[in-house]
Amino acid sequence: MAPKVTLAAYDLTGAVDAGVALAERAPGVSVSLTAADGPSRSLVAVLNTDTRDGLPAPPPQPPPDPRRRRVDGACGQEDGSGSAWRRAAARPRIGASVAVRAHELAQLPGLTLTEPGAADLAAANESAQPQSDSASRQFSTETCSLCHWGADMTTLMPREEFDGLFGAVCNWGRWGEGDELGTLNYIGTAEVLAACAVPRAGLRISLSKQLDTVAGLLNDRPLVHYMTASGGEPSADVKVHRDFIGVDFHGRGTSHIDGLAHIAYQDQMYNGRKASEVMTAHGSEFASIATAAHGIVARGVLLDVAHARRKAWIEPPGALTADELSEVADALHLEIKPGDVVFLRSGAVRRSAERGAWDVERESVGLHPSAMRWLAARKVSVLGGDGHGESRPSTVAGVNLPIHVLALVAMGMPMLDNLDLEKLSGACARARSFEFMVLIAPLAVPGGTGSPVNPIALL
């Protein structure tokens, strides 16, 4: 029996968006959708099949249309007859712009669409009823809390609101006017000793990608590497091998740490220093990466978003909110403590390995700026991830790197970009513990704005 998909949309725009998304990924499939009157704007898809594992991997996606943003989310729950339910429901604030996970459904053979029955409409209506904040949180926790996710990317945060958020998380003057360490001040002797007690198995895991020596989509400025001495004369008893390496590490290809001198916002760097006064052709005279030359030793925690949602990766684009960070931490039984280094895994490295590289400057998974309050309240020392922290497209009007601005400039919090967290994810899942000790040793570059780095996790 061919699978049957029922789509019900409570507004015409939602129906059209769903139909277009499905038709784009399944040429030749006849799409017929109807809009039904109802009190809320939502979309529900019901898939009748004998197995809940029957959905194939999504195919490569076409270049995104910049005029459209996608809301992504799916869960599976079986009823008594063995049917698997797949829902993609737009939150009320998103309005009519909703889209089904058509890249999964479109691969099914013999796909047909039918008008929704009364029971389907009732289920959709019940799942999308407006709720109070407390009721919504309870629903998210008790049912599939990690299914519907992502901030509203159809509405940009105004610059005025962003500047207010900047002031709310700002640490200028907290550790003195001359402070150059920022949130690394949260890592004291007690935090270092506590971190040293975390490892139990003696397992060491590199969190760095291999350095690229060939240009590619993610790295148009690869590592420069050549030999300066390759052995000397054949008759020599002692042969010397020397090589040169050079890397333009900032960007999306190389694993690196961003120091506090990396970003300025409206000519201001961390602690209110003017970039025009401290940045020279030789580097920064304030808060260079050399201030972290003694290394960063701390407790690390992996907020494995993909693992918590039982997915190989989180499909871009997406902007994680504070509530969603809390949900992931709860799902992984993690308590964030002062001085922790927080790592966010979306599964981008695995997606790239299985699907190929894509233009992450157009679509990527990162944090919504409002989530920075969550990190600030927990006194996180360093933020790292398998991306660069930013969601693409930007969620702030007129600000290209809002997470970097808030982290580096306002909070004084270093960032670790472009990490490979796949081995760490597997090890944490097997150990059923997502905490570890982390060692980060930046190069002591005078005036440097950052450094290529190979962080080591110890479990």
372 close to 343: Cβ distance less than 8 angstroms: no
Q: Rg of the chain over CA atoms, in angstroms?
A: 24
More confident residue, 315 or 92: 315
Return the residue matching tokens 């970039």.
Answer: 275
Please give the pLDDT value at position 78. 28
What CATH topology corresponds to 159-210+254-458? Glucose Oxidase; domain 1 (3.50.30)
Average pLDDT over residues 173-187: 97
Say what percent of the chain tops pLDDT 70: 65
Contacts of 324 (CB under 8 A, 6+ apart): 146, 149, 150, 305, 371
For residue 185, the model assigns a pLDDT of 98
Q: Which tens digits make up the pLDDT trace of 233-286?
A: 666 678 888 999 999 999 888 999 999 999 999 999 999 999 999 999 999 999
The stretch 147-156 carries a mean pLDDT of 61
Chain mean pLDDT for the chain: 76
156-168 mean pLDDT: 95
Of 422, 459, 401, 365, give the one whose Cα is nearest residue 258. Answer: 401
Structural domain boundaries in the chain: 4-142, 159-210+254-458, 212-246
Q: To which residue do tokens 């504070």 refer? A: 322
Q: Within 10 Å of residue 61's Cβ, how many Cβ atoms? A: 15
What global pTM score does this model have?
0.69
- Asked if the model's pLDDT at residue 436 lies above 90, the reply is yes
1-52, pLDDT tens digit by residue?
Answer: 434 444 444 344 444 455 555 555 554 444 444 444 333 333 333 333 222 3
Residue 204 is inside which H or E element, if any? Answer: strand 204-206
